[in-house]
Amino acid sequence: MSVPDDLLVDVTGLAAELASTEPPAVLDVRWRLVGPPGRTDYLAGHLPGAVFVDLDAELSGPPGAGGRHPLPDPAALQRVLRAAGVRTGRPVVVYDGGDGMAAARAWWTLRWAGHRQVRVLDGGFPAWAGAGLPVVTEAPSPTPGDMTVRPGGMPVLDAGSAAEVASDGVLVDVRAAARYRGESEPVDPVAGHIPGAVNVPATDYVGVDGLLPAADSLRARFAEVGVRPGVRVGAYCGSGVTAAQAVLVLHRAGYPEAALYVGSWSHWITDPDRPVATGAEPGDPA
C-alpha cells in the first residue's frame, strides 16, 4: 500500500523551503476549544511570513444547525485565503500549537476547497521553536493570492451518509472513550455516539508532541476496528476538527478515500429523531 509523501513537512524541510526563492505560503491556525484565542499566540511570536487564519471565524461557517464548525461559505473562504496570499499552484504549509488538530482541519479545508498542495508542519509551532528556528512578531503583508475555491475536493459525509458508513463500513468516532460511551459530555448537550460507530480516540494515534507515527503503525491501529482496503471509512468527533486529523492520519495510512463528517456529533444531535447509542459497540477493540 503506497503512502503519500505530500501530507507533512518537518521543521528542517520547512526552514529550507522558506529560505528558497519560492517559499510556500504559511498559515498559522493556532486554536483552542476553550481559553485565549489563537491570535494571541500568533502576536506573541510566529514563523517568519506566517499569516494568522482563524479556525472558528474564517475556516468554518457560523455555529448553529450545521454544528459547531460547519463548512465555510465558499466565497467567504476564498476572500480569506486570497488575503492570506494563497495562490493557485503555490504550496501551502499550515501549523498549529502542536497537537495537530487545527492544522489538520485547515489542511482538510484547503483540500476540500480544491487546493492540493497543502502540508501540515509536523509538531507545529513547538517543534519549530524547540529547534531554535526564527520566531518573529511582525505580521507580514502578503501579496494577495488568486486561489479560486472549488468545493468538493475531499469526500464529505452528512448525517445520512454517516449512518450508512456506520452500518456497512467503518465510522470512526475519535472522541475520548468516556464521551463515546455516553459516560460524560463536557461540550455538547447530549452524550453518546452514532449507532454502529467504533471508537479510536485521537490519543491512540497522535502523541502529546503532535508528531504522527509511521504509516505502518497507523495502519495496524485502524485495522483493529476493521479499516482495510475496499471498506468504506469515515470519521467524526465533536465538531469535525479532531476528526479532520483522523482523515489526515488515514491518508497517511493509505486510505485517501476516508470521508469527514464535518458537522460530527454537534450536528447529529440537532435532530432529536436521530438515534443515540451509549456503551461500547461490538467492533470496539478490547
Q: Which residue has the cell 501540515?
A: 120
Q: Confirm whether 97 is a catalytic residue.
A: no
> For the residues 102-128, what does the mean pLDDT come to?
97
Per DSSP, the three-state class of 136 is: strand
Domain count of the fold of the chain = 2
Residue 101 lies in a domain: yes
Based on the fold, state whether residues 120 and 161 are members of the same structural domain. Answer: no
Residue 284 lies in a domain: no
Q: Which domain holds residue 24?
A: 8-130
Q: How far apart, in whole angstroms, are the C-alpha atoms of residue 138 and residue 45?
A: 8
Residue 141 lies in a domain: no
> For the residues 136-162, what does the mean pLDDT come to?
97
> For the residues 50-73, what does the mean pLDDT come to?
97
Q: How far apart, in whole angstroms, are the C-alpha atoms of residue 3 and residue 7?
A: 10
Tell me the CA end-to-end span of the chain in Å, nearest whole number: 27
Pairing of β 118-121 and β 156-157:
unpaired
Based on the fold, state whether residues 37 and 125 are members of the same structural domain. Answer: yes
Question: Is pLDDT at 283 greater than 70 in this prediction?
Answer: no
CATH number assigned to the domain comprising residue 67: 3.40.250.10
Q: What is the pTM of this model?
A: 0.95
Based on the fold, state whether residues 165 and 123 are members of the same structural domain. Answer: no
Q: Is 270 left (phi over 0), alpha (psi -120 to 50) or beta?
A: alpha
Based on the fold, state whether residues 197 and 91 are members of the same structural domain. Answer: no
Q: Which of 215, 237, 247, 253 is catalytic?
A: 237
Spatial CA neighbour of 261 closest among 166, 149, 119, 150: 166
> For the residues 180-194, what does the mean pLDDT come to?
95
Based on the fold, state whether residues 120 and 195 are members of the same structural domain. Answer: no
Based on the fold, state whether residues 119 and 232 are members of the same structural domain. Answer: no
Residue 1 lies in a domain: no
